[in-house]
Every structure is written in C-alpha cells, then in structure tokens.
Amino acid sequence: MDKIVIAGGKPLKGEVMISGAKNAALPILAATLLTPGLHVLTNVPNLADIRTAKKLLANLGVQFTDLADGLQVDSTGLVSWEAPYDLVKTMRAAVLVLGPLVARLGKARVSLPGGCAIGARPINLHLKGLEEMGVRVALAHGYVEASVKRLEGAEIILDFPTVTGTENLLMAATLARGRTIIRNAAQEPEVSDLAKFLRAMGARIEGIGTDVLIIDGVRELQPASHRIMPDRIEAGTYLAAAAITRGEVTIRQAPVEHLTAVIDKFLETGLKLKVEKDTIHVRPGGALVGVDIKTMPYPGFPTDMQAQFMATMSLARGVSIITETIFEKRFMHVSELRRLGADIVVSGNQAVVRGTKTLQGAPVMATDLRASASLVLAGLGAQGQTEVHRVYHLDRGYERLEQKLSALGANIWREKA
C-alpha cells in the first residue's frame, strides 16, 4: 500500500487553490438521479469518493462524459435501484441514492452501512423521515428495502440535524405530493449547495441555509447545470498547514463565508491572517497559543476540522481542550499524534492537548480521512521524517494533496508499495 513521506520542519510558502467540495459533489451527483436527462456539473473534485459515487451511479444506469471543464451526467435510463454492499461499505455517502431513487422509481434497495472508524453512524433518521412521507421501509439481509406509490409531503422534525439525512429527505421531498417541512434541518453549506442545484432543476424550496426547509413537491424536474462550491474543509486544512509550519500561504478560492468558526479560532490562537473576498492570506508570526474548541453542527466548529486543529494545537503554547460532540469515536488520530511526541490525554469526548516545543517524525497509520490529514499536518510541523501509511483514506477527500503541498515548498512525496 502507498505511503506518504514528509521531511518536516519547513515553513510553507506560496499559493494554493481550493478544489470543489467533496461533500457537496456527492449529494449533487445523487440528485441527478431524480430526473432523466443531461446534467452538467463543474468544479467536481477528482477524488476516490467521487470515483466511487460514479461507479455507484453507473451501476444504476447513469452515464458520464468528461467535458473540458466539467462532467456531463446522463441520468436518462436507469436500469437498477440498488446500492450494493461493496460500494456502500467503501463510502457511506452511497446512502444518498435512497431519497432520489424512491422519489423517481418508487423503490430502492440500499445496503445498510455498518459502523465506521469514527462512530456507529446509523441512518435511522433518514428512514424515519422517509416513513413519514409514506415510504414502506423493511430491513432484509443487510439491506434497506424502500417502496412507495407516491411520496406524500410531511412535517418532519429531525432529532439531530443530520447532514446526509437532511439531504436524502430534501431530495425525496422535491417530487412528493404537497408540502414537506423539515425542521431541525442541517444548515451545512453543502446542504444549501444541493438545494441550489435542486432549485435549478425546478424544485420549489424555501428556507435554504436555515434549519427549516420548506419544499413544495413538483410533478417533475428538469436536468440542470451547477458549479460545485469550494471545499471549506480543504481550505481549513491548508489554513492549519500554514499555521503549524508558521508559513506564509495564500489560500485562493476559499469559501470564506462558510469558514467563520474556523477562522475565528485560528485568529484566537494568534495566527496572523487576512481575509479578502475568497482569499485568505496567512502571514508568518510568533508562537500560537492553545485555544479550546467544541465541534458543533454548522455554523459551529466543524467536526471535519477537529483532527487538523488538534495537530496544530499540539505545537502551540499552553493547553487546548478539544470537545467532540458529533461523533463518538473521532479521536483515533490521538494515539498516532502521540507517536510523534504530542502530549494529548483523552477522557470521554474531550482531549486535553498540552502544546510541546517540537514533534519528531515517525511512521504513523491513517485511520480515517480527517485523521490522516492531521497526521500529514503534524508531519509537516515535525522534525525529521514522517511516514503516513494507508493513504487511501487521504485520497478519498483531498485532491492532489502532495502536489499542492509540494508547490508550497513542503518536502512531501508518495512511495508506492
């Protein structure tokens, strides 16, 4: 298996361009299933998860054509309504086909995702919402079997603002009979990006960006074109890379309006940065100080930035208390960061990070996407050589990571096994 090797300890310097958001592209690709025709998506990142999504949709009968600056998606002839175990187990976001398939075909068979590295991650709220819209849901042989004659609008109150759950229900509701109200909806910008694509398809949605989504179902939708929003987590990760190496980095095409909680926390650490339209300039400065964070649904501090912030705090002055409230097992990176010399103690859903002066390079093992990113960051800030194993986790969600970091002057390369 490939590994990424980093000779750390060098401040980054230069410019980096942010790619399209994985977590917006995935539901938008699924949304093309809602109606037959030719859709055009631009700014789709080239990532392993996107390739998995394309494989999943191709299995259902969707055809893809690469365009000069985008992707044409032909969702005309669906030949299946099943998301098989093999694909769902590699990427949980595969459950996003459930809502659109039920809405278009009145049936879907989707493998139940099991637990994963960061938590149990059930989909009970997706299913409960669909049942409220009249869908019959049965669990058989590890699969969810859903069927309905015509979806009925409903008032759905989510117990928790689940991101993909909100997306599944939103997509289903666009073709339901009557009005659906989703309360306590996830307000993540990726949900809004999906809603904008659905609107371009002719869906009637109000409350985009709020926790109450009101959807008036329509009889049919039309294919549409859409530019995927930039990836706020990728932008935040490069912000952390600049911070941990005390670098001087310009981050371009950053969705700064969706990074407020992250930027505010970095400012609190003493990081010197300036925001200008869609650009973040990080300037070199003195030592950073420890700052506490607590992960929350948007607009709070994102769980997808927790591991990267922790890596940065491991080299700050003083103590940082990191509280994870979204996923129950999202501290898998802690033991690996400790192998690099970080001083971190975990108790329940809190990690206490006591900043150290230096980290030392070592071989480490990636466990999930954002955990892997935190190890790369720690490697960039460490003295000596760090090897990050199991890089397929990184390939799922970071486009051309080594190339982008190399262009910023990092000594980083991939070694084939």
By annotation, the residues acting in catalysis are 116
Q: Is there binding between residue 162 and ligand EPU (CB under 6 A)?
A: yes
Contact in structure between 11 and 246 (CB atoms under 8 Å): yes
Stretch that binds ligand EPU, among 124-132, 261-269, 336-344, 352-360 (CB under 6 A): 124-132
Q: Residue 389: how many CB atoms within 10 A of its CB?
A: 18
Q: Is there binding between residue 413 and ligand EPU (CB under 6 A)?
A: no
Q: Residue 139: how many CB atoms within 10 A of its CB?
A: 10
Q: Is there binding between residue 164 and ligand EPU (CB under 6 A)?
A: yes
Half-sphere CA count of 372, side-chain side, radius 13 A: 24
Q: Which residue has the tokens 């139940």?
A: 112
Candidate residues 326, 334, 365, 371; the one interacting with ligand EPU per rule CB under 6 A: 326
DSSP 284-324: --S--B---EEB-STTSB-GGGHHHHHHHHTTSBSEEEEE-
- Tell me the one-letter amino acid at 336: E
Stretch that binds ligand EPU, among 11-19, 31-39, 59-67, 156-164 (CB under 6 A): 156-164
Q: What are 205's strand-pairing partners? A: 215
Residue 36, SS3?
A: coil
Q: Is there binding between residue 327 and ligand EPU (CB under 6 A)?
A: yes
Q: Which residue has the tokens 């401040």?
A: 11
Write down the least CB distance from residue 231 to ligand EPU, Å: 9
Angle formed at CA 379 by CA 349 and CA 338, multiple of 5 degrees: 40
Write down the least CB distance from residue 277 to ligand EPU, Å: 25
Q: Residue 408: how many CB atoms within 10 A of its CB?
A: 24
Q: Is there binding between residue 172 and ligand EPU (CB under 6 A)?
A: no
Write down the least CB distance from residue 230 to ligand EPU, Å: 14
Write down the least CB distance from residue 393 to ligand EPU, Å: 9
| Best CA proximity match to 172, nearest among 139, 144, 205 | 205
Residues numbered 83-102 forming contacts with ligand EPU, rule: CB under 6 A: 92-93
Which C-beta is closer to ligand EPU: that of 53 or that of 362? 53
Which C-beta is closer to ligand EPU: that of 24 or that of 382? 24
Q: Is there binding between residue 37 and ligand EPU (CB under 6 A)?
A: no
Q: How many residues bind ligand EPU (CB under 6 A)?
A: 25
Write down the least CB distance from residue 159 to ligand EPU, Å: 7
Q: Which residue has the tokens 């995935």?
A: 26
Candidate residues 304, 336, 395, 402; the one interacting with ligand EPU per rule CB under 6 A: 304
How far is Cα 125 from Cα 229, in angstroms, rounded to an integer? 26
Write down the least CB distance from residue 311 to ligand EPU, Å: 15
Angle formed at CA 166 by CA 93 and CA 99, multiple of 5 degrees: 65
- Tell me the one-letter amino acid at 411: N
Candidate residues 57, 73, 102, 123; the one interacting with ligand EPU per rule CB under 6 A: 123
Which C-beta is closer to ligand EPU: that of 188 or that of 248? 188
Sequence-distant (6+) residues with CB within 8 A of 86 are: none
Candidate residues 19, 23, 192, 386; the one interacting with ligand EPU per rule CB under 6 A: 23
Q: Is there binding between residue 125 and ligand EPU (CB under 6 A)?
A: yes
Stretch that binds ligand EPU, among 31-39, 122-130, 250-258, 314-322 (CB under 6 A): 122-130
Burial of 336 (C-beta count, 10 Å sphere; 0-12/13-18/19+): buried
Residue ranges binding ligand EPU (CB under 6 A): 23, 26, 92-93, 119-126, 160, 162-165, 190, 303-304, 326-327, 369-370, 397
